[in-house]
Structure 1
Amino acid sequence: MKLNDDVVAIDVHTHVLSSARKSAGEEARQHDEAMAKYFKTDMPRPTVHDLAGYYRELKMMCVAFTVDNSWATGELPEVSNDELCDLAAEYPDVIIPFGAVDPHAGRRAAREVRRLAEHGARGFKFHPSSQAFYANDRDVYPIYEAIEETGTIALFHSGHTGAGAGRPGGGGIRLKYANPMYADDVAVDFPELRIILAHPSFPWQDEALSVALHKPHVHIDLSGWSPKYFPPNLVQYARTLLKHKMLFGTDYPVLTPERWIRDFEKLGFDEDVTQLIMRDNAAGLLGLS
């Protein structure tokens, strides 16, 4: 997979919410309805085909994934890893597939990482809050070992989440798991593992900036928030010391690339830094350049 010259950006954080092979379950519908209410938007439920068409029209590539919350919910993801990788292979100029494994599955999940890496997965998405685990739990380490060995990427949700927001008890989701400092231990114990901390990490933004500044293979994606709400310290580090580690991401369909870019342009970043954030940093991290 190589980056075409006409690609203007790489969105490193998008969700595949619907299967192209089967209808959605009730749990998925309830989750998406709650997310749409929280973000005050009529949120679509894209398939891989939908993502490919949308991002190709925008002349962008996108990292696409689902989340395996099966340990916490008892429900398998709506879109299987095999479906995502199979369909992504039909759109190599647009879709960059990431896998999803259950962090509680230990060596079984590690075997799945190795299998999916051979099937085209370029990384793996974790959501500590909804998957109910600390990133530095030693029981998860066989999975990180497999990700490091296969040269793929570990992407961790960090900070606050819209998932479960407003539902009784927050839908059972505990925010404490998503402190990015837990990923700092992972970066120490797996020094060659490439890590992305997803989202502005409210209320732990300083922690995320510190980890990315200190650990050479830790990056930050800027998804899930309109840039007009970015805290000043995040904007300052994105302009300067961490300009080579910041990655464009939207959290689509929660936020559209058009909205994100429109609000980002108002921050007045220099053109060379904008190019790094929108495309070049991700291209290097994903091995596309």
Structure 2
Amino acid sequence: MIIDAWAQHPTLRHSQDPIFESLRRWTKIPLPTAELPVRTTLEMMDQAGVDRSLICAWFAPRNVMISNDEVAGFVAEAPERLIGVGSVDISKPMEAVREVRRCINELGFKAIRILPWLWEVPPTDRRFYPVYAACCDLGVPFCTQIGHTGPLMPSEVGRPIYLDQVALDFPELVIVGGHIGYPWTDEAIAVATKHENVYIDTSAYTTKRYPQALIEFMRGHGRSKVLFGTNYPMITPAKALENLDELSLDDEARQLFLSGNACRIFNL
């Protein structure tokens, strides 16, 4: 089994948002002009043998690129393949808490994801804390982005070391830091090693771009700490999994990376 821990089924609003223009230098993906059907995402998964994908909503200040209800609609088209991950507006703390509860209790989502770079504040900002408390109360992971940003936004808020303080304040909170934390991957490994409930996902990177320190972590004591992710549609599942064998993971480490850790962490 293969589970993609970070993907999007994008709306046209998301795909066409000017904030992603800088990424097109690398992806060479033309600007979409029509909504992407869910079957296209499923076909991309099938090409790589990906069984299930966690697809997320996108909330930015004054801008909802992919709403929670839209994610729920996509999941409803393929409930055996797609898993919802919600997001919220942290500028409205009580509304955010109520929306977290709605995402989990009514929409059936498995996690909440908020991206610090979209809000230009680190995850230690006070506005995140009600969301952390709600996730703890509901027993669901909080997912976020660590590392530099592809979009031309400040990267400092993605330093993995910020999650150290969050994990100290909320030791029961399960935290998944996506995008491997580069160029601070050693920080990410250190925080994930220190805290029982902190994890890393490899979204936005192909296997041949994983830092050697991360590969060694996956082979050794960090085998239960790293999840496979794509950041689709930025990277297709097939592209993300190219050269997987070159990581030289043993059978246990490979199974945990591709699905076992995600099944455990997201209660799938």
TM-score (norm 2): 0.91
Rounded Cα–Cα distance in structure 1 between residues aligned with 2:230 and 2:242: 12
Displaced runs of 4 or more, over 6 A: none
Asked if the contact 1:43/1:254 (under 8 Å) is kept, the reply is no
Rounded Cα–Cα distance in structure 2 between residues aligned with 1:46 and 1:127: 23
Q: Which residue matches 1:210?
A: 190
Q: Match of 1:234, as an amino acid?
A: L
List gaps (5 residues or longer) in structure 2. none
Rounded Cα–Cα distance in structure 2 between residues aligned with 1:232 and 1:27: 32
Structure 1 position 66, deviation (Å): 2.8
Rounded Cα–Cα distance in structure 2 between residues aligned with 1:46 and 1:175: 29
Rounded Cα–Cα distance in structure 2 between residues aligned with 1:139 and 1:50: 36
Structure 1 position 123, deviation (Å): 0.7
Rounded Cα–Cα distance in structure 2 between residues aligned with 1:209 and 1:26: 31
Q: Which residue matches 2:142?
A: 154
Cα–Cα, structure 1 residues 237 and 25, in superposed 2: closer, same or farther, change >3 Å? closer
Q: Which residue matches 2:121?
A: 133
Asked if the contact 2:4/2:50 (under 8 Å) is kept, the reply is no
Asked if the contact 1:196/1:219 (under 8 Å) is kept, the reply is yes
Cα–Cα, structure 1 residues 43 and 106, in superposed 2: closer, same or farther, change >3 Å? same
Aligned CA-pair RMSD:
2.1
List gaps (5 residues or longer) in structure 1. 1-7, 19-23, 165-172
Rounded Cα–Cα distance in structure 1 between residues aligned with 2:180 and 2:163: 15
Asked if the contact 2:50/2:237 (under 8 Å) is kept, the reply is no
Q: Which residue matches 1:168?
A: none
Structure 1 position 59, deviation (Å): 4.6
Q: Match of 2:161, as an amino acid?
A: M
TM-score (norm 1): 0.84
Rounded Cα–Cα distance in structure 1 between residues aligned with 2:17 and 2:55: 19
Q: Which residue matches 1:3?
A: none
Q: Which residue matches 2:248?
A: 268
- CA offsets 1:128-164 (integer angstroms, 9 cap, x no match): 1122121011232111111111111111100012123
Rounded Cα–Cα distance in structure 2 between residues aligned with 1:40 and 1:241: 37
Q: Match of 1:245, as an amino acid?
A: K
SS in 1 for 2:232: coil
